[in-house]
Each structure stands twice: as C-alpha cells, then as structure tokens.
Amino acid sequence: MVTKVLCVAEKPSIARAVANHLSGGQINSRNVQGNQYVKNYEFHCNLAAWGACSVTMTSVLGHLLSHDFEDRYRKWNSCEPSALFEARIETYVEDDKKAVAGNIERQARYAQYLYIWTDCDREGEHIGTEIRQVATHGNQALRQPGKTVRARFSNVERAHILNAASNPVALDEAQANAVMSRIELDLRIGATFTRNLTLSIQPMLQGRFGAEERQVISYGSCQFPTLGFVVERYLRVRNFVPETFWTIKVMHEKHGIKVNFRWARDHLFDRVAVIVLFERCLTARVARVTGVQTKPASKWKPLPLTTVELQKCGSRFLRMDSHRVMQVAEGLYQKGWISYPRTETDQFDRGMDLRALVQKQTQGGAWAQFAQALVNGGFSQPRQGRNNDKAHPPIHPVNFVLPTQLSAEEQRVHEFVVRRFLACCSQDARGSKTEISILYGPETFHTGGLAVLERNYLDVYPYDRWTSSQELPEFREGETFEPTEAMMRDGQTSPPGYLTEPELIALMDVNGIGTDATMAEHIKKIKDRQYVETRPRGRRQREDDDDGEQSDGEMPDEAAAAAGRGRGRARGRGARGGANARGGATAGVQEFIPTTLGVALVEGYENMGFETSLTKPFLRKEMELKMKAICESRKTKADVIHETIEQYRDVYVRTQLRLDALRAAVRKYVFGENG
DNA sequence: GCAAGGTC
C-alpha cells in the first residue's frame, strides 16, 4: 500500500528544488488554478519514516492567513481607538490567497501525512501552523499526533535535503506562538495609536501636506523608531555648536619627500596647554625617531552577501535606494540569475560547490577572466560571518546571464552580486604597512605608509579602495633630525552629516528594527507618510583620510550607543565629526531629513516625558526579548500579550492626557508658532 | 484610511 504525503513549502522555489531532489527526476507538474506562482509537483519516492510514498509537493506564498478586527470595529469612528486593545480579532484567508488555501485543503483530503517544508525560522514555524490549520480543515485525521511533521533544513543542497527528508521533527509550537503574539500586538497597538494620532492631529493639517485630504498619521513599532533615528541625527546637526581646537603640525622633508607627522594627541581644546606643549617641542629643537615598524598588512575580502549589506551597498555604490535595490534583486531572483535575496546569512555552507558557481561566471562579462583565474587555482574559501538564519544561503549568482539581457538597473545589481561573490572566493589583498614614531620634545608624533603588494580580490571588487600611499623616505630608529616645519594650528569641530540610508539601515539592523525583508519598506513608509524627505548628499568639503584603514564609518554613533558599546567618544570631537569618510564612494548617497511633521511627532512624544519612549528602539527590543521568552517556554503567549497591552494602555492613557503637548509640537514645527 | 511579517 502506497502512503500519500502532502508536502508544503513556504515558497514555490523551495517546493521545486525539494521535489527535484526527492523525485529523482520523474515529476508531474500541475498548475494550481487561480494562482500563477504555486505549482503541485507529484512524484513517487521512499521516505524513511513511511516507506514507498506518493507525494504531492506544493507551497504557499508566505503567510496564508490574515488577521483583522471583527467587522463592527473596522470603521474608524465605530469605537474609541483604545477599544482595539481588546476587540475580537478574526482570522481569515484573504481573497488573493483563496486559491492557495483551497489547493492545500483539497490535496489534504487524500493525504495520510502532512509534511511541512517552510523556512526554519520563527515565521516559518508559524506559517507551518497556518498550513496545518487549513489542511486539517480538509482532513481531520491530520490532527492526530505524528500525522503532521516538518523538515529541518537550512539550504537546498541535494544531500542536505535528502537527509532532512529522512528526519522529520515536530512543529515548534512555542516559536509559532511567539509569532502569533507579535502579530496580535502589532495589530492592536498599531491600529489603536494610528487611529488616535490620525483623528486628533489630522484636522490640524488639512490641506497642509500635499493634496491628500486625509493623510494618515501612523504609529508602528518599527516605523516610529526608524523616524526617531532620523530626527535624532537631525537635531544633533541642528544643535551642533562648533568648538575651536588647537593642534601641532610637524613636517619634515627628506630626500625630496615631504612627510607629515600626526600629533598623538590629535588636538586639544585648551589653547594655552597647546602653546606650552608646542614651545617645549621648539625648545627641544630636534626630534628623535623612536620606532620604525614595517609589517605585513592585509585588507580582508568582503563577507558573503546578506540583504542588509546589499541594501547598504546599493545606496552607496549603485545609486539606488534600498527599496529599489530589493525590487530589482527580486526580479533577478525570479528570472533565476541570483539566489534568494532575503537572507541574514553571511556564511556559505561547507557542502556548497562554490567552484562550480565560479565556473559559470567564466562565460562572459567583464569579470570572466578573473573568474577563470579563480578556477585555475586562485580559489579561496569565503570567510565565515557570524550570522546564519538557517533558512537561506548568502546572496550569490546561480546562473550565467549576459549583461545585455538585463535592464540598466538589473545590470548594476547583478554585477554587484557577481563581483561580490567572486571577491568572496578570492584571496585577501596583501600589502606592507610602515609606521614611524618620533619624539619631539615631550610629544609623540606618528606617520605611516602603505604599499599594496597584491591586489587579489580588489581586482574584481572596485567598491573597496585600498591604495598605496606616497613612498616614505627611510628613517632609522634613534636617528634625530630638525623638523623642516613645526606649527601650531587651530581648527573647528564640524557637525555630523544628516543620516544617510546606509547609516539608517545599519542602525535598524543593530537595534533589531524590522527584518531583512522589511527594513526597506519601513524606510519607504516614513517617506510615504511624509515624516521624512530625502535628498542627494551634497559634496561637502572634508579632509578625507585615505590612509587605507578598514573602517568605513558605517556604524554611526547612535548605533554603538544603542547597542551598548560606548563608542561615542572614541572618535573624539575631531575635525571630521561624524563624517562618513570614504572618498568619492558616498557621492550618490541620499540623506534623510525629517519634515516638520516628523520632528513634531518625535518631539511631541518626547515631551510627554514617558520613561518608555515610543520613538526609541527599546520597546521593539523588549518585544524581541519577550518573543524569545515564549520560544524558550519562560513565558506564555497569553502572559506576553497581557503585560504588553497593559504597558501600552498606560502609554495611551497618558497620551490622551498630554495630547496638548503633541498638538503644541505640531503647531510649533508645522506652523512655526511658539508655545 | 490602521501594524509587521511572509511572499509574487
């Protein structure tokens, strides 16, 4: 007797890949009426748990079920917004998912087992329970213990899939519950605050922002902190007070080469102190070389590509905002040129045949020769990053395509993905770094030089810069000289720049705001809501320190601070402030400036004086911790929902009492009134 | 007319 098994993946691409591996080639592929993406794959195979099986492998398209308040609460004026804290929520299949759900329900009727193949992350676990819910609607027997199982897999390599197929496990109910509480809380809190904000502020704004009569002023646990980052930086720029500092510059000319030495103290804000130190230098007259060190230096090849990194690089190098980059990457994925573009993983699985993927890129394109050189022995295993979402590999090219077959934007994204991948499979760049220290009077000064000896990955990855500095004349330890020039100079600290998109993404990333798939959407949302505007960053005159350091300033101070690493002072209050010093690379980058409405919202809430700020990332972090607690069975879904709702109910009540502060902020910023 | 998360 053949056992009938229904397998359901999270997306069509996984269903197809898994079906191919399990079937051994004999597959019957059927369309699902009413949906152009989902297909049913029918085949026979042996599964360890059940023996000879007749399998139907299909998929959903992400979440299958939707949630909304019951009908009588859906009209905005149907109730006081805070009634949504406890209004009944209905679960239903959205119209555009009816065909997918119907397919699963029908297929389930004939199945003895339901085998879930969703991604092995929290959302995937929850989607698994949605599939089970729909399937058991068609076939009650699948509710029995052991009849519904799931596969544990983290990539679609053949051996890995075959192994996963033989070792089914149970769905992780705790993870699914964690997601369920996230869904409920975001809905209740988002809808309550959004209605309240809109209904109480919108009348003040009529006709003020564009043509829209009814502009929604939304609150969400992700969009508000995102706005908060933009406003915080804006205020730092606006409130910046330049400070004068003093420094000592030493230059020595030797063998016709002018060498500038940097003061070890960099600069001080006390003029008299610098005068005293400078005079001691002059009194000493000669400087003595205290250290000469030449050592190998290398610039590491980049890590395998994650979504966050793709988005940051898109803003920096491809002149596309994060949302556009994802749209283009999605197209490339669907046409089969690149792998799944939503991933947090920066480690390639050891089992992956990367050489074969490199080989494909030898067929053409500007990088063909480089790829050939890797095939001919230059190949080096990619570095391993620290992230693995256990669901998808890093983004990489999966097939060769001639650039001429792609649109201009597709070419840029595709080229970046290919070059990044080839760079990962190359050797680090090698060089030699020389550091020279001198003691001049009581003060230490440094200079250094870099010689790039082997470019290696840099040849295929023009997005990184690492160039040799001018050659240094020879200095010997103990040697003394009278500096050609020694001067005391003053300067002024300069404000940080407005937040750029790569910086914003980095902030969201370290603070856990949004996911790889949604960060770009949150950014787009605060633009659409007219909380922020973007403009191309002007070419500000800055002293770029192109000394070949690894740092590219991608972690803004706010990120470090919020992430609990005290890096705020590390860079000092130097002449470069918070600049993103990376040569011309940032020329096309967009910077974010809040609108008057954006500032008003943040200021308004800040001025209410709550200890838990809605505009700071901590609440979202707290939610993340609570979800983790559910996953580890330290809390129940009911506990978390209850305590979180009470917390927000409190904020809501106090918001009502202080609505005047919010309205005052709107008047102040949007209408330029005082008070 | 609300959120954030999947996916197309």
Residues 6+ apart with CB under 8 A from A215: A198, A202, A205, A209, A529, A530
CB A501 within 8 A of CB A492: no
Has residue A550 got a pLDDT over 70?
Answer: no
What secondary structure does DSSP assign to A215-231, as a single string?
Answer: ------TTHHHHHHHHH
- CA dist A58 and A638 (Å) reads 33
Highest mean pLDDT range out of A103-107, A209-213, A598-602, A665-669? Answer: A103-107
> Coil, strand or helix: which one is A516?
coil
pLDDT on residue A149: 97
Give percent helix, percent strand, percent coil of chain A, each to the nearest 5: 40, 20, 40
**A65-74, A488-497, A515-524, A598-607: range with lowest mean pLDDT:** A598-607
- Residue A575 scores a pLDDT above 90: no
DSSP, residue by residue, A589-625: -EEEEE-HHHHHHHHHHHTTT-SS-TTSTHHHHHHHH
pTM score, whole prediction: 0.89
Q: Is the CB of A342 under 7 A from strand B?
A: yes
Is the C-beta of residue A10 closer than 7 Å to nucleic acid chain B? yes
Q: Calculate the angstrom distance between C1' of B2 and CA of A113.
A: 39
> How high is the pLDDT of residue A562?
45
pLDDT at A496 over 70: yes
Cβ of A76 less than 7 A from strand B: yes
DSSP structure string for A403-441 = GGGS-HHHHHHHHHHHHHHHHHTSPPEEEEEEEEEEEET
Residues 513-532 of A with CB under 7 A from strand B: 514-518, 522, 525
Distance CA A150, CA A165 (A): 9
Q: Is there a contact between A675 and A667 (Cβ–Cβ < 8 Å)?
A: yes
Nucleotide nearest to A36 in CA–C1' terms: B8
Q: What contacts A289, CB < 8 A, 6 or more positions away?
A: A436, A437, A438, A475, A476, A477, A478, A479, A480, A481
State the Cα–Cα distance between residues A93 and A134, nearest whole angstrom: 9
Question: What pLDDT shows up at residue A604?
Answer: 84
Other Cβ atoms within 10 Å of A234 Cβ, number: 20
CA atoms within 13 A on the CB side of A234: 21
Of the candidates A41, A113, A219, A340, the residue annotated as catalytic is: A340
Secondary structure of A445-509 in HEC code, one letter for each residue: EEEEEEEEEECHHHHCCCCCCCCCCCCCCCCCCCCEECCCEEEEEEEECCCCCCEEHHHHHHHHH
- Give me the residues paired with residue A150 across strands: A116, A169
Which chain B nucleotides are covered by protein, judged by CB under 7 A?
1-8
Given a cut of 80, whether residue A268 has pLDDT beyond it is yes
Nearest nucleotide (CA of A179 to C1'): B5
Q: What is the pLDDT of residues A629-641, one digit of tens each?
A: 999 999 999 999 9
Looking at residue A202, its pLDDT comes to 85
Count CB atoms within 10 A of the CB of residue A608: 19
pLDDT band at A281 (very low <50, low <70, confident <90, very high): very high
Nucleotide nearest to A63 (CA to C1'): B6
Question: d(Cα A390, Cα A591) in Å, to the nearest integer?
Answer: 34
Q: Tell me: the pLDDT tens digits for A106-161?
A: 999 999 999 999 999 999 999 999 999 999 999 999 999 999 999 999 888 888 99
CATH no. of A244-300+429-492+539-587: 2.70.20.10
Asked if the Cβ of residue A183 lies within 7 A of any atom of strand B, the reply is yes
Average of per-residue pLDDT across A274-294: 96
The pLDDT of residue A549: 35
Nucleotide B6 C1' to residue A317 CA (A):
29
CA pair distance A311, A320, nearest whole angstrom:
9
CA of A539 vs C1' of B8, distance in Å? Answer: 39
The strand B neighbours among A residues 396-455, by Cβ under 7 Å, are none
pLDDT > 60? residue A553: no
Question: Does domain A3-171 correspond to CATH entry 3.40.50.140?
Answer: yes
Structure tokens at A423: 């760079």
Q: What is the pLDDT of residue A558?
A: 55
- The mean predicted confidence, pLDDT, of chain A is 89
Distance B5 C1' – A309 CA (angstroms): 20
pLDDT at A540: 54
Q: What is the mean pLDDT of residues A549-565?
A: 43
Which pLDDT score, from 0 to 100, does residue A214 have?
A: 73
Which two tokens mark A274? 């610098």
Determine the residue type at A52.
Answer: A
Q: Give the C-alpha separation, A181 to A191, whole Å.
A: 15
A198 touches strand B (CB under 7 A): yes
A500 φ, ψ (degrees, to nearest 5):
-95, 165
- Per-residue pLDDT for A557 more than 60? no
Q: Is there contact between A77 and strand B, defined as CB under 7 Å from any strand atom? A: yes
The structural domains of chain A, with segments of one domain joined by +, span: 3-171, 244-300+429-492+539-587, 307-424
At A162, phi and psi to the nearest 5?
A: -60, -40
Q: How confident is the model at residue A666 (pLDDT cuts 50, 70, 90)?
A: confident
**pLDDT attached to residue A463:** 96
**Strand B–CB A617 distance below 7 A:** no
Which token pair is A51?
């023996």
Lowest mean pLDDT among A378-382, A479-483, A623-627: A623-627
Closest residue to B8 (CA, C1′): A37
- Poorest-confidence range of A4-13, A287-296, A389-398, A543-552? A543-552
- pLDDT tens by residue, A177-199: 999 999 999 999 999 999 999 99
Nearest nt to the CA of A216 via C1' is B1
Checking if the pLDDT of A299 tops 90, the result is yes
Which of A 12-31 have CB under 7 A of nucleic chain B?
12-13
Q: Does the domain spanning A307-424 belong to CATH 3.40.50.620? A: no
Interval A499-544: pLDDT, tens = 999 999 999 999 999 999 999 999 999 999 999 999 988 755 443 3
Compute the distance between CA of residue A543 and CA of residue A527 in angstroms, rounded to an integer.
Answer: 32
Chain A 123-182 contacts with nucleic strand B (CB below 7 A): 123, 127, 182
Residue matched to tokens 């409920």: A184
Q: Identify, with chain letter, the residue nearest to nucleotide B1 (CA–C1').
A: A216
The radius of gyration of chain A from alpha carbons, rounded to an integer in Å, stands at 30
Look at chain A and count its residues: 675
Say if residue A88's pLDDT is above 90: yes
pLDDT score recorded for residue A166: 95
Q: Is A340 a known active-site residue?
A: yes
